[in-house]
Amino acid sequence: MWSDIWQRLIEAIHAKAQPTVLVVTGGGASAIAELLEVAGASQTVLEARVPYFQEALFEWLGHRPDHTCDEHTALAMASVACQRGRQLLAATAKAAAERQDDASLSLRVGNCAGLSCTASLASNRPKKGDHRFFAAVQTSNLTVSIRLILKKGARSRQDEEALTGQTLVRALAESLGIVPLPDLGLLPDEELQVERVIADPRLAAVWSGLSPLLWSLPDGTFAAQPVGPVRGLLCGAFDPLHRGHEILRQVAESRLGGSVGFELSITNVDKPPLDFLSIDVRRRQFRTHPLVLTNAPRFVTKAAVLPGMTFVIGSDTAERLLNARYDGGTQESLNRVLEQIQAAGCRFLVAYRVVRGHPLRLSDLSVPTQFQGLFEEIPESEFRVDLSSTELRRNADSHG
């Protein structure tokens, strides 16, 4: 058990009664133990996970990250944890409504947090890299990112673990507005780095699924509508935005005879929901054309909230769209989805991509005859830029 000052802080956390899902790997498990040791833990802890084995972490995230111990992974872990908490609370509220249980109905789905940590601490064998940890807090309107490089050899594994766990508890308390906060006892050359983003209420509504979309304008402001008509949207993750995206946007604009902007879905079929810090970083890349932020990971949902829109995609995305696995697993279910997209007046411009080391064109894909009018190929002669955001990130890491 930590000292009395930490016990009192945890008591204050439990008194706030914010349901929280905790997930830690590599370190930070002491935070779970300490939160559970103090009476009232059921007011705070919805669930705690320790996906220590690499494949367990990949399963939690729903994908294989570029790195297991970095800021991006901590943010993604917290985002999944927050969404998991929302699911648990929603299931509880639904069951309470069926039972007409007023006490359980008092739980609010939006009132939950995800708390995460990924760490590389002292081990029974020497480590070449830094001893470090990355932590994050995610709620429906807040993202906090925390990172600390520890002085190597200055603490035992137990002491490094205690510091990691205390930082997590302190971060949770700070997100709840609890003061004062205990000192962490950092060494003179150690600095806790913290970034905090409080979401615009309109963006928070999209993140929570209460609103379908929000436009981010080139001047950095948000708006319900873009300035002027938008004929098409280039869809992607834009991590990062690169010159291939801009060239493709220009080609699409020429083909459509009107303005083409960008679309970024906060939620993704295969990856964790984006946190507010990552959203902020990505949207600030768009300084000349509007970006629409949606909570629409699938094109059938995009079509429903953006009727009449032409979506500009790569052939790899078209391949996934035409894969029945994403839409119930049968050709009939895929056909129903394509029918809904067609009924919304939407269609697709499809660009050449190199996929799995081989060229992939729209003509290489199997498009049901009745839906061939939904898809238009951009010939390789008009657009071919063999750039990928994944490769750009890898190159940045290798030079960083």
State residue 242's pLDDT score. 95
- pLDDT of residue 387 exceeding 80: no
The CB density around residue 355, as the number of other CB atoms within 10 Å, is 15
Find all residues with CB under 8 Å of 12, minimum gap 6, and list them.
Answer: 173, 178
User: pTM of the predicted model, to two decimals?
Assistant: 0.93
Strand-pair category, 353-355 with 291-294: unpaired
* pLDDT(162) > 70: yes
pLDDT above 70 as % of the chain: 94
Per-residue pLDDT at 100? 72
* Structural domain boundaries in the chain: 4-198, 201-399
Instruction: Read off the DSSP letter of residue 159.
Output: H
Residue 400 has pLDDT above 70, yes or no: no
Binned at pLDDT 50, 70 and 90, residue 111 comes out as confident
pLDDT the model gives residue 282: 97
Asked if the model's pLDDT at residue 108 lies above 60, the reply is no
At 97, the pLDDT band (50, 70, 90 cuts) reads: confident
Fold for the domain defined by 201-399: Rossmann fold (3.40.50)
Residues 6+ apart with CB under 8 A from 55: none
For the segment 118-160, what is each residue's pLDDT rounded down to a tens digit? 999 999 888 889 999 999 999 999 999 999 999 999 999 999 9
pLDDT band at 96 (very low <50, low <70, confident <90, very high): confident
Q: What is the mean pLDDT of the chain?
A: 93
Q: Name the CATH code of domain 4-198 (choices 3.50.30.30, 3.40.228.10, 3.90.950.20, 3.50.50.60).
A: 3.90.950.20
**What pLDDT shows up at residue 392?**
67
For residue 8, which amino acid is it? R
Q: What is the pLDDT of residue 105?
A: 44
**According to the model, what pLDDT value does residue 201 have?**
97
pLDDT digit string (tens) for 268-317? 888 889 999 999 999 999 999 999 999 999 999 999 999 999 999 999 99
Q: Cβ(383)–Cβ(247) under 8 Å?
A: yes
